[in-house]
Amino acid sequence: MNFKVLICVVPVIFFAACGDGVPKLDDVHNPKVDGVRITMLQFLKKYCPGKVNSETCISVGKAMEYDFMHGVAPKP
């Protein structure tokens, strides 16, 4: 009986741990969430506090740094 419960619970825990609550983006230089365009800074402030291991947050941060270093003006 305990083995059956374990088999049911482990996948639920695994999949729950996979979601970090950060939306996936097609273009980190031009983030869109639910079809609405937001700035990279707005994205980082809204979705990334405390999520230092999120691949999306890291990518947006690097894109923002790249744009800043190469003189790309932020889009409104």
pLDDT by residue (tens digit) across 17-49? 456 789 999 999 999 999 999 999 999 999 999
Q: What distance in Å separates the CA atoms of residue 54 and residue 59, rounded to the nearest whole number? A: 9
* Residue 71 DSSP symbol: T
Q: What is the mean pLDDT of the chain?
A: 81
Q: 20 burial class (0-12, 13-18, 19+ CB within 10 angstroms)?
A: middle
Q: Please write the tens of the pLDDT for every residue from 48-66.
A: 999 989 999 999 999 999 9
CA 17 distance to own-chain centroid: 14
